[in-house]
Structure 1
Amino acid sequence: MANYTLEEKESFTVLGIGTELKSDYTDYAGINQEKTDFWQAVKQDGRLDKLKAVATNDYIFVVNEAVNNKMMHYAGVMTEASLPEATRLIQFPEGEYLIVKGEAGTSEELSNMLTGIAFGQALPEATDYAYVGGPNASVEMGQRNGMVFGEMWIPVVKK
């Protein structure tokens, strides 16, 4: 049984730098490799640091969103600012969100773990709620005791 909560959230916007995931949506190894390559690139070339510099808080958003029938993946932050490197302002709707909390050794492990629990366990168990699309995000909130901690936020509607 997955440990999750349902929370009401105000709408919010995340400024993101993204990439299109080209692997088939059932090719988890391919998708994960594309995500790993993307995160290494945005860390090495300084784009992630530029995002962090304009953020209104310390949260790093790992956003997945379908846009024009393309699977998009973003590094993002909450901010009112804009950057020339940014590729999208990602609108998260007001409403209920399924929240899964966790911690892991690295940012990538945290995102993969939270995504797996949220979509593989929590959503199937939350039988009164449905994910109807829109952006979802793994939110890295900080570090403690050498571990990265955060939450997965998935917008849901009552069935």
Structure 2
Amino acid sequence: MADYKLEEKDSFTVLGIGTELKSHYTDYAGINKEKSDFWQAIKQDGTLDTLKSIAANDYIFTVNEAVNSKMMHYAGVMTEQSLPEADRLIQFPKGEYLVVKGEAKTSEELSNMLTGIAFGQVLPEAKDFAYVGGPNAAVEMGDRNGVLFGEMWIPVVRK
């Protein structure tokens, strides 16, 4: 099984700018293209830089959340400030989180790898905990010698 840990986290809030994912939830290629197009657009138009400029730390959150029966995807940061273009304050609950660590060359690779390990390996094989919904996030935490590192944070409950 992939390397992971369970970690207690206090509740926290992420300010997000997002998009609705229209592909069917089993259409991984379609979902990944939509996510990639979204990130490319917010990098090109300066939205991501604006978001980073008000961040309380260096963490960049890639958040997935179901909102009103829609699959939403956000770029977010921890901040006390607000932005007119921000779509949502995303509340992460206090409790236990599945944490998967990883490294990659790009933000997109990191997010996709962490998501794949967490949802494709760890959660399907987990015997004593489960993901029951709520926002989850790939968190880009920094870079070490040109390699990005980060973690996937998924709220879980004990079975």
TM-score, normalised with respect to structure 2: 0.99
TM-score, normalised with respect to structure 1: 0.99
Q: Which residue of 1 aligns with 2:27?
A: 27
Q: Which residue of 2 aligns with 1:96?
A: 96
Task: Give, as a single letter, the amino acid of the residue that structure 1 aligns with 2:107.
Answer: S
Identity %: 83
Q: Which residue of 1 aligns with 2:64?
A: 64
Counterpart CA distance in 1 for 2:105 and 2:52 is 21
Q: How does 1:51-130 map to 2 (within 5 A)?
A: 51-130=51-130
Deviation readout 1:4-55 (Å, 9 max, x if unpaired): 0000000000000000000000100000000000000111111111111110
1:146 Cα shift?
1.4
Task: Give, as a single letter, the amino acid of the residue that structure 2 aligns with 1:158.
Answer: R
1:84 Cα shift?
0.2
Task: Give, as a single letter, the amino acid of the residue that structure 2 aligns with 1:21.
Answer: L
Counterpart CA distance in 2 for 1:81 and 1:127 is 40
1:122 Cα shift?
1.1
1:127 Cα shift?
1.2
Counterpart CA distance in 2 for 1:21 and 1:148 is 25
Task: Give, as a single letter, the amino acid of the residue that structure 2 aligns with 1:125.
Answer: E
Check if 1:13 corresponds to 2:20: no
SS in 2 for 1:48: helix
Counterpart CA distance in 2 for 1:144 and 1:55 is 20
Moved beyond 2 Å, runs of 4+: none
Counterpart CA distance in 2 for 1:53 and 1:106 is 20
SS in 2 for 1:138: strand
Task: Give, as a single letter, the amino acid of the residue that structure 2 aligns with 1:13.
Answer: T
1:80 Cα shift?
0.8
1:123 Cα shift?
1.2
Counterpart CA distance in 1 for 2:128 and 2:120 is 16
Unpaired runs of 5+ in structure 1? Answer: none
